[in-house]
């Protein structure tokens, strides 16, 4: 793979684990929209790492081989892979938030992980450089179902959890973009909070998916979307806006639809900007970005998955058909998440 190119299916050697490492036999690897940014948009130097590497940063499977010193896992055990690989020693990594590693120069790959700079899970096997990134699956959760929870579940879960103090009875959360992450975000809001959920998308079929998973109201994105949200909230606006797109138009919508003393959380990386000025946004509206989530949060998300409270809608593809999955994602004809099953 090169920047601005289609990925290729190639033969690679089976990895061998070194000390403290684990090889996972992949049972499912999620195809993420951020992979399209790697293929279509990023130039050399945009990120602190470069191709070639195997795609796939949402991975689950079974322990295949253990390196010396790994004692808490067993060969054949079903596991998920925490995807952000930090240094392991800084204050953030020591509490399991490798996504915010503050010592990236000592990480296996700065600000990345398997499928993001190092070889990921769109292969029969993935080498995980530290056993702490391998999390046991709860009973009853198949690896192909668990794989998208490691990002499409963990990312919205973290974004929602940081605002849970706002999501009390009588509150409203708006989900902009009911795609691979957004439709899981709707489920997490319904499973873990008392808030009312309003889903916004440009596609009628995406809004039907949001309704299927419990959205209390759906709004077709357009010039009147902010007005409809305000009407539905008695003129107050939303306590939390989750923007899973991140374009100029969706950020503007988020600011128009938000309540005073609220959060606008930008999850999508479409490259939009939001002008911020004293009178330009509601009083005490916090604008933040989030990236992935923590390892302890992943354990919580997997528990929700095992209990059937959060289950991404998935379409499975064989490894040789992975390009078809990405093509459908580009064309916006794929609902939910694509999972590659080697």
Fold of 22-151+293-341: Quinone Oxidoreductase; Chain A, domain 1 (3.90.180)
How many CA atoms does the CB half-sphere of 154 hold within 13 Å? 28
**Mean pLDDT, the chain, integer:** 96
- Quick one: average pLDDT of 55-74? 97
User: What residues does CATH 3.90.180.10 cover in the chain?
Assistant: 22-151+293-341
Q: How much is the pLDDT for 89?
A: 96
Decide if 263 contacts 239 (C-beta within 8 A).
yes
What percentage of the chain's residues is helix, strand, coil (to nearest 5)?
30, 25, 45
Yes or no: say if 221 and 244 are a contact pair by the CB < 8 Å rule.
Answer: no
Q: Which of 139, 176, 320, 309 is nearest to 250 (CA)?
A: 176
DSSP letter at 45 equals T
| CATH 3.40.50.720 in the chain, residue ranges | 156-289
d(CA 170, CA 273): 30
pLDDT of residue 245: 97
Residue 1 has pLDDT above 80, yes or no: no
Residue 148 — pLDDT band, cuts 50, 70, 90? Answer: very high
What the block records as the tokens of 68 is 């010396």
Please give the structure tokens belonging to residue 284.
Answer: 């005490």
Q: How far is CA 80 from CA 153, 154, 208, 247, in A?
A: 12, 12, 30, 31
Question: Does residue 32 contact residue 67 with C-beta atoms inside 8 Å?
Answer: no
CATH number of 156-289: 3.40.50.720
The answer on pLDDT for 46 being more than 90 is: no
Mean pLDDT in residue range 227-247: 98
pTM: 0.96
């Amino acid at each position: 793979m090169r920047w601005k190119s289609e990925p290729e299916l190639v033969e690679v050697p089976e990895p061998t684990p070194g000390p403290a490492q684990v090889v996972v036999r992949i049972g499912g690897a999620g195809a993420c929209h951020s992979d399209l940014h790697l293929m279509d948009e990023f130039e050399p130097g945009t990120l602190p790492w470069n191709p070639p590497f195997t795609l796939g940063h949402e991975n689950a499977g079974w322990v295949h081989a253990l390196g010396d010193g790994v004692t808490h896992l067993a060969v054949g055990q079903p596991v998920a892979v925490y995807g952000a690989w930090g240094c392991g020693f800084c204050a953030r990594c020591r509490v399991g938030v490798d996504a915010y590693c503050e010592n990236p120069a000592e990480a296996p790959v700065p600000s990345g992980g398997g499928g993001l700079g190092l070889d990921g899970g769109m292969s029969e096997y993935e080498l995980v450089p530290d056993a702490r990134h391998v999390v046991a699956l709860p009973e009853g959760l198949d690896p192909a179902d668990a794989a998208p929870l490691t990002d499409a579940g963990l990312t919205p879960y973290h974004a929602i959890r940081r605002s849970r103090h706002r999501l009390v009875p009588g509150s409203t959360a708006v989900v902009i973009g009911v795609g691979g992450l957004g439709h899981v975000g709707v489920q997490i809001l319904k499973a873990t909070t008392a808030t009312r959920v309003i889903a916004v998308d440009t596609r009628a079929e995406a809004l039907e998916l949001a309704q299927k998973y419990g959205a209390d109201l759906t709004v077709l994105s357009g010039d009147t979307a902010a007005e409809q949200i305000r009407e539905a909230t008695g003129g107050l606006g939303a306590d939390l806006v989750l923007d899973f797109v991140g374009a100029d138009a969706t950020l503007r919508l988020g600011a128009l639809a938000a309540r005073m003393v609220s959060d606008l959380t930008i999850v999508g990386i479409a490259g939009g900007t939001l002008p911020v000025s004293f009178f330009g946004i509601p009083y005490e509206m916090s604008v933040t970005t989030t990236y992935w989530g923590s390892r302890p949060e992943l354990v919580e998300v997997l528990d929700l998955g095992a209990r059937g409270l959060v289950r991404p809608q998935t379409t499975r593809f064989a490894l040789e058909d992975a390009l078809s999955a990405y093509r459908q994602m580009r064309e916006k004809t794929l609902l939910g998440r694509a999972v590659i099953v080697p």
